[in-house]
Chains A and B, each alone.
Chain A
Amino acid sequence: MTTTDATPVAPLGRRFIYKPRNWFLENTIRSPLRLVGLIFVVFIAYVALNNIVTGSYRIDQFARQTIFGLAQGSVYALIALGYTLVYGILLMINFAHGEVFMSGAYIGFFVITALQNSGFLYTNTGIALLITVFSGVLASVTIAVALERIAYRPLRNAPRLVPLITAIGASIALQQLFLRLFGVSTRRYPDVNFYVLPQLFPNLECHEVDGAEICRGLDLISGRYDVNVLGINLRILPIHFLVFFVALVMMAALWFYIQRTKMGKAMRAVAEDKSTAALMGVNVDRVIVTTFVLGAALAGAGGVLYALYNQQVTPFIGFIPGIKAFTAAVLGGIGNIPGAMFGGLFLGVVESVAPSMLGLSNQLKDVIAFSMLVLILIFRPTGILGEVLSHKKA
């Protein structure tokens, strides 16, 4: 029997081959969702441009918001690294990571308050701040290690949904634990004046506090300075630069650790293939604990930095930054370390700049942050710096 001409059949496999003529077709027409996304992006760009051209959005606003956004973004990046590190190794979203961040800020509060009461905060401000950061790191690390040991390790070989739900449970449990232990009231970080570089100020005033001589200089923590940069009048808060700088140093240290040390190499090996790494003599459990420790240390430091400029601490402050940082990690490409750094800074700047650039209420910044997540996922499901997931990771 032969097939008749009346029923032509396209050769199998050829029917669905679609050759895009150009990028535009490939990325828009082919998928209606992408087309909607593109129209949305064009609309946003139009509104922003319009606000800039008509002068309702000014350059000094932009500069101020960018600086604030970089500080906020640094905190997001520090938290996002914890999500991405753990995901890279365990393929698990540690939703309790926001609470790890919160516990750093919260324990930091007790320490800095104690240092304030003893006067040490005024006599040796720099050291006192270091102690506060360090205790925040210690608290976060302790909680993360306990989480891994109690909640995640027993479920290592369970289906992937199980540790995810456990993580959400752990998140609520930690919030409630802090709530029961320390109450619902908002704790306030003390106002700290940390003077550096007195050389910057020609007419120095020195005065005595508790027997130590304090000379005024640039106040890194509580200072506000009106300066004129290139003809733009700006109010500058050095704390924002401090947060950004400390975060950059920590991220550089993390990068060095992962790329150059033996343990870092082992982490990359375990992330790629646990059982082969074990065959090389790597203690996989130890690598996993180390991953949690690194992520928690960054989050704990981030928590104290955040509390230093935000000042208010409650058991719930981990939730929104945690979700934002998770968003940042996905934006950058989850599992990708530079991606988390970039995603955090990007998200921080966009949510700080976008509301007023678009002429919207600042309260809509969360809407903007999460809309951006949706947009990025439409155009680049693997994140901005994300690699194509291998079938093993997908």
Chain B
Amino acid sequence: MSLLRVNDIHTYYGRIHALKGVSLSVDEGEIVTLIGGNGAGKTTTLNTICGITPAASGSILLRDRDITRMRPYEIVQLGVVQSPEGRKIFTRLTVRENLEMGAFSRNDRDGVARDMEYVFERFPRLRERQKQLGGTLSGGEQQMLAIGRALMARPQILLLDEPSMGLAPLLVREIFDVITYLNRESGTTILLVEQNAQMALAIADRAYVLQSGYVTHADTAAALQNNETIKQAYLGG
């Protein structure tokens, strides 16, 4: 049984047909990556799963439970958590409040306190700056905060949208290390959307390639790394 199964979803922005029948599945404990160019529909796929841009047709199942028509906050409560593109931290909330927002749908105070401690251990920089406003952090720190915030929700499955966007190469490494760690050590299932296909394929178990709203390839990450078409289109030859 897949943790998350997306069956043939179609999503529209007004008249624009953004997803034209996307299907994918993510198993428990996997890292699955979604790669593709600009406008391929990667972010739309995540937003459709989260209920932000609901699917016009098709279905989304979380452990065989239909979540297609649920509201975003209900989906979060079921453990599907997205760390959105462009970090989207709350600039006028403090670092600590940002993390607390991540745990918004939880009611176990002790668990939240433990996870907060874990995030601070993982990102000591955030502990130092916990009383600062989110908007005062550097780009890299904001990305750590965004990931920390997503962790605070204790997700069943974490949807990461472009975690490496706009970061210096050294920070990109660090972010990818954290993602791998989360998956291997904490057993968090991850659906990762990335422009940096090379890095994404290196840590993923399986991958889907999206192109103008269609899934064009679906295979293990290793196989796609050696696929000539993919190499030419997304991995720089």
Contact = CB atoms under 8 A, between A and B. Distances in A.
Interface of A: 262, 265-266, 268-269, 272-273, 275-284
A85 B144 CA distance: 31
A272 B93 contact: yes
Given A280-B102, A281-B104, A283-B71, 15 more contacts: A262-B104, A265-B93, A265-B97, A268-B90, A268-B92, A272-B93, A276-B90, A278-B73, A279-B72, A279-B82, A281-B76, A281-B105, A282-B73, A282-B104, A284-B72
Given A275-B52, A279-B81, A281-B77, A266 B90 contact: no
Contacts of B101: 265-266, 269, 277, 280, 282
Task: Indicate the size class of the contact surface on chain B.
Answer: 20 to 34
Contacts of B90: 268-269, 272-273, 276-277
Contact of B84 (A279, A281, A283): A279
24 contacts: A262-B100, A262-B104, A265-B100, A266-B101, A268-B92, A269-B90, A269-B101, A273-B88, A275-B72, A275-B84, A276-B88, A277-B90, A278-B72, A278-B76, A279-B50, A279-B76, A279-B82, A279-B84, A280-B105, A281-B76, A281-B153, A282-B73, A282-B101, A282-B104
A260 to B, nearest CB: 11
A286 to B, nearest CB: 9
A278 B51 CA distance: 9
A278 B76 CA distance: 8
Contacts of B71: 283
A283 B97 contact: no
Contacts of A275: 52, 72, 84
B91 interface: yes
A265 B88 CA distance: 16
Most buried by B among A275, A276, A283: A276
A269 B93 contact: yes
Contacts of B84: 275-276, 279
Interface string B91-117: 111000100111011000000000000
A275 B52 CA distance: 7
A279 B81 CA distance: 7
A248 to B, nearest CB: 25
Contacts of A266: 101, 104
Given A265-B93, A268-B92, A272-B90, A278 B105 contact: no
Nearest to B72: A278
A252 B101 CA distance: 23
A268 to B, nearest CB: 6
A266 B90 CA distance: 11
B104 A280 contact: yes
Contacts of A278: 51-52, 72-73, 76
Contact of A268 (B77, B81, B82, B93): B93
A268 B133 CA distance: 13
Contacts of A269: 90, 93, 101
B72 A272 contact: no
Contacts of B82: 279
A165 B91 CA distance: 32
Interface string B135-170: 000000000000001000100000000000000000
B104 A272 contact: no
A121 B13 CA distance: 60
Most buried by B among A265, A268, A281, A284: A281
Contacts of B51: 278
Given A280-B101, A283-B71, A272 B92 contact: yes
Nearest to A390: B91
A281 B107 CA distance: 12
Interface string B38-74: 0000000000001110000000000000000001110
Nearest to A277: B101
Contacts of B52: 275, 278-279
A255 B108 CA distance: 26
A272 B102 CA distance: 15
A275 B48 CA distance: 12
Nearest to B81: A279
B76 A280 contact: yes
Contacts of B97: 265, 268
Nearest to B82: A279
Contacts of A273: 88, 90
A79 B72 CA distance: 33
A262 B72 CA distance: 18
Q: Across the A-B interface, give the 10 residue pairs with the lowest CB-CB distance, nearest first.
A: A281-B105, A281-B76, A278-B72, A276-B88, A283-B73, A281-B104, A280-B104, A280-B101, A281-B73, A279-B82
